């Protein structure tokens, strides 16, 4: 078997493997953030604040649906990573084939349902009537093209399950460039408005999805399926759905909590909304490192489960925690010392009230950043071990915490209460995830009949 294009997480230094896998992921995430900044600027500059507000108003419902699709695909990749770690190539290819069938069916169903319901969803979220038509014009094509979104997320998920984090990044970078170019052409020269921005996104995602498929076919001998391996297997499909749906729901449940707190923030006035929006953009940029580390841990855990090396998952988690902990300290120092200057990228220095609100939100969210790190590392490790239903309850804890803050703290403390929403959600999730991780890892070691700790391995 040719393995030059894959990465085996079941042996070698966890530090070297985690850094080697997460750095390309980080680069791709940063490119996506840069694209989001440029995309926002193009819509705002060429179409005006009305169109920008219309696109922005779709954020919550977009996260609700697209987040579900992304989580679902990440769940489908877990059995593939586990089969790779077990060196069971036949089972791996069977899971790949059935993941393609299941994701195709579910994405088509989602596309039909969400594209028909999106006007009702936007009205349910109290989208202002003067921008709702533009909002529909932007989000409806994206929902109709959900199979394209799933194509990229599924193909890139399979590549990452095999230890290849670089190929998806190459196509993300290329797709970001294509997206920006098409945005400009469709909006400026073809006068397609916000619908042009949506179509540009769809085309760029199609390019990246097809590109990943071509690479999988030409460079990965391990993915060359025969006729028997391509057969639909209900047992495999059931296993994939059992992994994918809970992970998708986790994203959607988290999105519901975000919608609730955003509604509370909206009631505090324009200055509060603008402050949170600006600080959130900076926080999203900071989050890229944590996202890269946590995605790495999902693959690391999945492969080592397949190899029956539960003790090695602990080693990987410890390594990722140390890397992330150092990063959290750096984030806090940067936010504390340079926050006001960094926020002027999004806010005019003359708008001192908005700037002070944004800086307060930034500090509330970066001081407890380590809690966010552990939420993601623990959750993705648990998911990689195959306990996606258990990990889903962390999203429930986050949703409950944000809702309680919106109902109890915001009316009493105002803006400061709203700033507490994310930290409260992270702490609530951690209170569940720490004991959950210990429980499922011990249970998994017993099920597999393998050592739970490395010292047990030496004793054996």
Q: What is the pLDDT of residues 14-44, one digit of tens each?
A: 989 888 888 888 887 787 777 666 666 677 6
Tokens coding 224: 């060359």
* Domain boundary residue, one of 232, 267, 295: 232
Coil, strand or helix at 422: helix
Q: Is residue 17 part of a domain?
A: no
What are the residue ranges in the chain where pLDDT is below 50? 1-4, 460
Do 271 and 225 sit in the same domain of this protein? no
Check whether residue 297 and residue 201 sit in a common domain.
no
Structural domains counted in the chain: 2
> Do the beta carbons of residue 54 and residue 135 sit within 8 Å?
yes
Asked whether residue 407 falls in the same domain as residue 451, the answer is: yes
Are 209 and 343 within one domain? no
For the chain, give the mean pLDDT: 86
Burial of 348 by CB count in 10 Å (0-12 exposed, 13-18 middle, 19+ buried)?
exposed
Those residues whose C-beta lies under 8 Å from the C-beta of residue 407, and which sit 6 or more positions away, are: none
Among 206, 232, 258, give the residue marking a domain's end: 232
Q: Mark whether 211 and 347 lie in a shared domain.
A: no
Token pair recorded at residue 192? 């397609």
Tell me how far apart the alpha carbons of residues 37 and 217 are, in angstroms, rounded to a whole number: 34
| DSSP label at residue 222 | G
Residue 176 near residue 31 (C-beta atoms within 8 A): yes
Domain membership of residue 10 (yes or no) is no
Q: Does the residue 355 lie in any domain? A: yes
Domain shared by 406 and 326, yes or no: yes
Is there a domain that residue 315 lies in? yes
* 398 plus 296 within the same structural domain: yes
Q: How many CA atoms lie within 13 A of 244 on its CB side?
A: 28
The domain in which residue 206 lies consists of 24-232
Q: Is residue 240 part of a domain?
A: no
Q: Is residue 325 part of a domain?
A: yes
Q: Is residue 385 part of a domain?
A: yes
Q: Same domain for 99 and 155?
A: yes
Tell me, what's the pLDDT at 60?
Answer: 72
- Residue 86: count other Cβ atoms within 10 Å of its Cβ: 16
User: Can you give the pLDDT at residue 1?
Assistant: 37
In a domain, 245, yes or no: no
Sign of the C-alpha dihedral computed for residues 30, 149, 123 and 42 taken in this order:
positive
Residues 264 and 217 in one domain: no
Contact (CB, 8 A) for 385 and 440: yes
How many Å apart are CA 352 and CA 370, to the nearest integer? 29
User: Are 174 and 265 within one domain?
Assistant: no
- What is the pLDDT at residue 3? 44
Rounded Cα distance, 215 and 219, in Å: 6
Q: Are residues 266 and 219 in the same domain?
A: no
Q: What is the pLDDT of residue 150?
A: 94
pLDDT tens, position by position, 142-158: 999 999 999 999 999 99
Which of 232, 266, 286 is a domain's end point? 232
Q: Are residues 376 and 433 in the same domain?
A: yes
Ramachandran class of 7: left when φ > 0, alpha when ψ lies in -120 to 50, beta otherwise: beta
**Residues 396, 402, 408, CA angle at the centre, nearest 5°?**
130
């Amino acid at each position: 078997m040719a393995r030059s294009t894959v990465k085996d997480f079941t042996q070698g230094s966890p530090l070297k493997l985690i850094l080697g896998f997460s750095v390309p992921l980080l680069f791709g995430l940063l490119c996506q953030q840069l694209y989001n900044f440029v995309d926002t600027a193009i819509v705002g500059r060429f179409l005006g604040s009305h169109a920008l507000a219309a696109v922005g108003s779709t954020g919550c419902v977009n996260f609700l649906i697209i987040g579900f699709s992304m989580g679902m695909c990440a769940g489908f990749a877990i059995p593939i990573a586990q089969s790779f770690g077990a060196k069971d190539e036949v089972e791996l290819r069977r899971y790949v084939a059935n993941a393609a069938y299941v994701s195709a069916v579910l994405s088509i169903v989602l596309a039909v349902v969400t594209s028909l319901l999106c006007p009702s969803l936007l009205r349910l979220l109290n989208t202002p009537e003067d921008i709702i038509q533009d909002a529909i014009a932007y989000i409806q094509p994206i929902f109709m093209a959900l199979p394209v979104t799933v194509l990229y997320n599924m193909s890139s998920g399979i590549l990452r399950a095999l230890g290849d984090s670089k190929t998806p990044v190459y196509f993300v970078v290329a797709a970001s460039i294509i997206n920006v170019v098409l945005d400009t052409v469709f909006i400026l020269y073809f006068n397609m408005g916000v619908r042009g921005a949506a179509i540009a996104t769809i085309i760029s995602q199609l390019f990246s999805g097809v590109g990943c498929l071509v690479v999988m076919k030409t460079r990965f001998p391990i993915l060359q399926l025969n006729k028997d391996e391509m057969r639909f297997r209900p047992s495999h499909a059931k296993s994939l759905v059992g992994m994918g749906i809970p992970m998708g729901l986790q994203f959607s449940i988290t999105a519901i909590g975000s919608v609730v707190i955003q509604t509370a923030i909206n009631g505090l006035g324009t200055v509060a909304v603008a402050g949170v929006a600006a600080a959130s953009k900076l926080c999203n940029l900071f989050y890229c490192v944590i996202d890269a580390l946590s995605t790495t841990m999902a693959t690391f855990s999945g492969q080592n489960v397949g190899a029956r090396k539960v003790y090695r998952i602990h080693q990987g988690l410890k390594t990722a925690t140390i890397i992330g902990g150092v990063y959290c300290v750096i984030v806090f120092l940067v936010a504390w010392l340079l926050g006001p200057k960094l926020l002027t990228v999004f806010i005019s220095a003359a708008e001192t009230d908005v700037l002070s609100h944004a800086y307060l939100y930034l500090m509330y969210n970066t001081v407890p950043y380590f809690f966010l790190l552990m939420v993601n590392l623990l959750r993705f490790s648990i998911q990689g071990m195959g306990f996606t239903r258990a990990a889903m309850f962390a999203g429930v804890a986050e949703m409950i915490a944000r809702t309680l803050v919106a109902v109890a703290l915001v009316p009493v403390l105002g803006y400061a209460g709203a700033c507490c929403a994310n930290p409260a959600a992270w702490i609530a999730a951690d209170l569940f995830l720490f004991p959950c991780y210990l429980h499922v890892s011990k249970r998994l070691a017993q099920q597999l009949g393998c050592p739970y700790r490395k010292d047990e391995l030496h004793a054996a």
